[in-house]
């Protein structure tokens, strides 16, 4: 009806649209038929199709500051459509509610409503005990989204930097948010090889033992095993020699392909293989001092290549 006018399409919680639904919007966005505005609480890098995202401008709305949340609380307590000054909350407890709200004004108002429902008729003051006993902290943690990766990254880097306090904190952030302990221990086991390796071989054993403890105990008892492991890994000596060896050998294999195994390293399982020279010239290490023998073990053309360096 109005060909010279664009249609503005606002989609709240756009991340809830599946791939096919998002793909449907793409040609209309490209043609300019619609001006798409999408709102989401998730990281668009994970939730929005790359084609649609590349044609969009992303604006990040940050969490409210404590001062903003406190203003919301005060208005709710004083406003005629709110609590009309009928309940009391100390400044200290207002800050506690603001902290529990995790930067979300709606959370703060929900906390006020929940805690006020526990008040006695003759006592209209919300105390610290009422808040702590009636409200579960709103921990921001999306198991498949950005905060999931942010926190595991923080844990990994804290351990790498040998900070046991931060390692304990980030481990418990995941535990308190309900992360699967098997996921946490998988990352710790990986760290034991990637960032510690042979600098402290005991680290991998500690992580594997924690895996067994987790499977045996489950939550909440296994939380100490997780923190014990994370702090051990944080305080252990560090080496990324194993990780670098993985990367360099992987690169070499990709570039050189299936180079044949040298004949002297092959087992002659049959007479034909023996006739072909399998195993010929192989030097048995235990026939030499300290079980060390000077012979080539890499494929032809890789002489003196270094993959593992301590």
55-98 tens-digit pLDDT: 889 998 888 899 999 999 999 998 877 788 888 899 999 998 88
Kindly report, residue by residue over 228-263, the tens digit of the pLDDT.
Answer: 999 999 999 999 999 999 999 999 999 888 899 999
What's the predicted TM-score (pTM) here?
0.61
Looking at the structure, give the CATH architecture of the domain made up of residues 66-134.
Orthogonal Bundle (1.10)
Q: Where in the chain is the domain with CATH 1.10.8.60?
A: 66-134
Q: Where in the chain is the domain with CATH 1.20.272.10?
A: 146-235
What is the per-residue DSSP string for 79-132? Answer: STTTTTT-SEE-HHHHHHHHHHTTT-HHHHHHHHHHHHTT-BTTB-EE-HHHHH
Fold designation for 146-235: Zinc Finger, Delta Prime; domain 3 (1.20.272)
In the predicted structure, residue 169 carries a pLDDT above the cut 50: yes
How far is the CA of 80 from the CAs of 75, 77, 110, 205, 288, in angstroms?
Answer: 9, 9, 18, 63, 92
How far apart CA 42 and CA 270 sit, in angstroms, is 62
How far apart CA 86 and CA 96 sit, in angstroms, is 20
For 206, other C-beta atoms within 10 Å of its C-beta total 19
**Mean pLDDT computed over 184-197:** 96
């Amino acid at each position: 009806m109005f060909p010279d006018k664009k249609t503005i399409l606002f989609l709240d919680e756009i991340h809830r649209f599946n791939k096919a639904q998002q793909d449907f919007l793409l040609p209309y966005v490209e043609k300019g038929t619609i001006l798409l505005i999408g709102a989401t609480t998730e990281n668009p890098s994970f939730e929005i199709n790359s084609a649609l995202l590349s044609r969009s401008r992303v604006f990040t709305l940050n969490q409210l500051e404590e001062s903003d949340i406190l203003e919301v609380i005060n208005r709710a307590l004083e406003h005629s459509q709110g609590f009309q000054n009928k309940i009391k909350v100390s400044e200290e407890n207002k800050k506690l509610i603001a902290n529990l709200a995790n930067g979300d004004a709606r959370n703060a108002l929900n906390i006020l409503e929940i805690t006020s429902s526990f008040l006695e008729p003759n006592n209209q003051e919300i105390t610290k005990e009422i808040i702590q006993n009636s409200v579960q902290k709103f921990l921001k943690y999306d198991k498949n989204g950005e905060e999931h990766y942010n926190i595991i990254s923080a844990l990994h880097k804290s351990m790498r930097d040998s900070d046991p306090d931060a390692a304990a904190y980030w481990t418990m952030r995941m535990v308190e948010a309900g992360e699967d302990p098997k996921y946490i221990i998988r990352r710790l086991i990986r760290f034991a090889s990637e960032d510690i390796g042979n600098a402290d071989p005991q680290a991998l054993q500690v992580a594997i033992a924690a895996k067994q403890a987790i499977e045996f105990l489950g939550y909440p008892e296994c939380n100490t095993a997780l923190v014990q492991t994370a702090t051990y890994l944080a305080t252990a000596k560090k080496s990324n020699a194993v990780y670098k060896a993985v990367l360099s050998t992987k690169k070499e294999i990709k570039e050189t392909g299936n180079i044949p195994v040298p004949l002297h390293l092959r087992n002659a399982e049959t007479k034909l293989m023996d006739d072909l020279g399998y195993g010929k010239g192989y030097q048995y290490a235990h026939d030499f001092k300290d079980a060390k023998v000077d012979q080539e073990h890499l494929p032809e053309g890789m002489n003196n290549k270094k993959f593992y360096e301590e």
